[in-house]
């Protein structure tokens, strides 16, 4: 695979959340198998170093106080970024990439870049991290609840219901963005393949009109080399993530109070003070640990009775579930979105109805009633001869992303892919030419 050059695209170039974790892991994996990696992102003070950062676009950070003119410029860039097109065009001329792999681009880089890539004849694969391709409001929420009123092209409902932070101006910008992007076919016509980490998202996108032949289900993975330790189980359940309404943390705090179980919440976010007040009001045994990362976060999860994922929106395929299994702990998850694909009731964890504090309290009590050995066995999902949720060898996994084939299509569990992947047939690893016959001549590592 030497001589191939990957153009890796994402709004942010630092580990901000789950999408960025996947973005960086994909870059690392392709680097290991000999690809040259060329990132394209937005400038930010927290960015990792890149020799290609001169081509990054200007920072757009929402929530900061700015003047009306600046806000107008930002709104225009959200909808269609000419700067991103210019910078990407210069980058393509210099780097001559073989293929582009995009992650999150809306609201910052904007999908205008797909027109630039298409004009240059560069194949484009995009990993779907949320439901922006279906709903103007990427979380598909209205007033904190799942809403699908925009299905069937009725995208005007995003303004009618003020779905974006309850704001008519913000909702209007997002509506204009959606209408223009669809008229120009920036996603539908300019992206060659959509990689969808959960079967739930694939089916949801198909329900909303996306052609199945354009999509392929390939589960997320984690690198387990840094996720190990000699943990001693503690007397608490853990949550790790952003403290936002859709995460279901108010439900978790109520469930902790109902079940008399201790919960440690790691993370920060807009709901923190409200959640602290709720915990104090209910006298729930809840500790707020603040933002944790690296070994401190691994220890918190590794010593917990289980990770709790009480989400109340359509989660995709949370990396936190895979990391928890890598730390050999079970998961209590809400039965919503892609979570039930990853948490097998009674096998790798327990499920509870989303938004139902009583049912979540039941799951907490049931998990607490198990012996430490039973919880440990739940946290070790079966995989033949290896840590079950490790990625397959980089060559097989990396090519599978662009070929649109699962590295182990016969695997019985959608996320349990063992390290030693055997039996890969040559036909499964053909390279990119057959998938992308329009690849432009003269690109680095032409196929």
Give the pLDDT of residue 70.
56
Tens-digit pLDDT profile for residues 394-414 = 444 544 443 333 444 444 333
Residue-level length of the chain: 447
Number of Cβ within 10 Å of residue 206's Cβ equals 15
pTM confidence score:
0.84
Give the pLDDT of residue 68.
52
Give the 3-state secondary structure percentages of the chain, helix then strand then coil, rounded to 5: 40, 15, 50
DSSP-assigned letters across all residues of 349-366: EEEE-TT-HHHHHHHHHH
Report d(CA 404, CA 30) in Å as an integer: 16
**Among 22, 116, 101, 37, which Cα is nearest to 402's?**
101
Give the pLDDT of residue 428.
27
Tens-digit pLDDT profile for residues 18-73 = 899 889 988 887 887 788 999 999 999 999 999 999 999 998 765 555 555 455 56
Q: Which domains does the chain have, with CATH numbers?
A: 5-223+390-428 (3.40.50.2000), 224-378 (3.40.50.2000)
Give the pLDDT of residue 381.
65
What parts of the chain have a pLDDT lower than 50? 1-2, 69, 383-396, 398-447
Give the pLDDT of residue 147.
96
Tens-digit pLDDT profile for residues 241-284 = 999 999 999 999 999 999 999 999 999 999 999 999 999 999 99
**Alpha-carbon distance values, 69 to 72, 107, 110 (Å):** 5, 17, 20
């Amino acid at each position: 695979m030497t001589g191939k050059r990957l153009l890796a695209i994402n709004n942010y170039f630092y580990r901000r959340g789950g999408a960025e974790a996947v973005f960086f892991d994909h870059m690392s994996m392709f680097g290991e198998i000999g690809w040259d990696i060329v990132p394209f992102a937005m400038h930010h003070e927290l960015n990792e170093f890149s020799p290609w950062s001169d081509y990054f676009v200007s920072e757009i950070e929402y929530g900061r106080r700015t003047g009306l003119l600046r806000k107008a410029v930002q709104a225009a860039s959200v909808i269609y970024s000419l700067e991103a097109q210019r910078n990407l065009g210069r980058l393509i001329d210099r780097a001559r990439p073989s293929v582009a792999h995009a992650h999150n681009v809306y609201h910052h880089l904007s999908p205008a870049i797909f027109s630039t890539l298409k004009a240059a004849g560069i194949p484009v694969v995009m990993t779907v991290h949320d439901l922006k391709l279906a709903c103007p409001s990427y979380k598909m929420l209205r007033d904190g609840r799942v809403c699908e009123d925009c299905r069937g092209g009725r995208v005007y409902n995003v303004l009618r219901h003020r779905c974006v932070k309850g704001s008519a101006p913000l909702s209007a910008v997002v509506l204009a963005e959606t209408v223009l992007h669809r008229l120009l076919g920036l996603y539908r016509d300019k992206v060659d393949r959509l990689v969808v980490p959960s079967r739930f998202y694939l089916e949801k996108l198909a329900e909303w009109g996306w052609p199945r032949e354009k999509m392929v289900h390939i589960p997320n993975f984690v690198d387990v080399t840094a996720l190990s330790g000699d943990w001693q189980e503690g007397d608490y359940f853990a949550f790790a993530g952003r403290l936002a309404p859709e995460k279901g943390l108010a439900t978790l705090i109520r469930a902790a109070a109902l079940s008399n179980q201790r919960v440690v919440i790691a993370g920060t976010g807009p709901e923190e003070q409200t959640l602290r007040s709720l915990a104090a009001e209910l006298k729930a045994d809840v500790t707020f640990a603040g933002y944790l990362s690296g070994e401190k976060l691994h220890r918190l999860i590794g010593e917990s009775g289980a990770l709790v994922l009480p989400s109340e929106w359509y989660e995709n395929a949370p990396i936190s579930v895979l990391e928890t299994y890598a730390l050999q702990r079970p998961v209590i998850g809400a039965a919503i979105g892609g979570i039930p694909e990853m948490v097998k009731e009674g096998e790798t964890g327990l499920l509870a109805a989303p938004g139902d504090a009583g049912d979540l309290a039941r799951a907490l009590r049931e998990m607490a009633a198990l012996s430490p050995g039973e919880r440990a066995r739940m946290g070790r999902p079966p995989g033949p001869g290896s840590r079950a949720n490790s990625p397959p060898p980089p060559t097989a996994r990396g090519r599978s992303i662009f070929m649109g084939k699962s590295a182990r299509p016969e695997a019985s569990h959608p996320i349990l892919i063992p390290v030693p992947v055997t039996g890969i047939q040559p036909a499964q690893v053909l390279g990119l030419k057959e998938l992308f016959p329009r690849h432009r001549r003269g690109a680095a590592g032409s196929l």
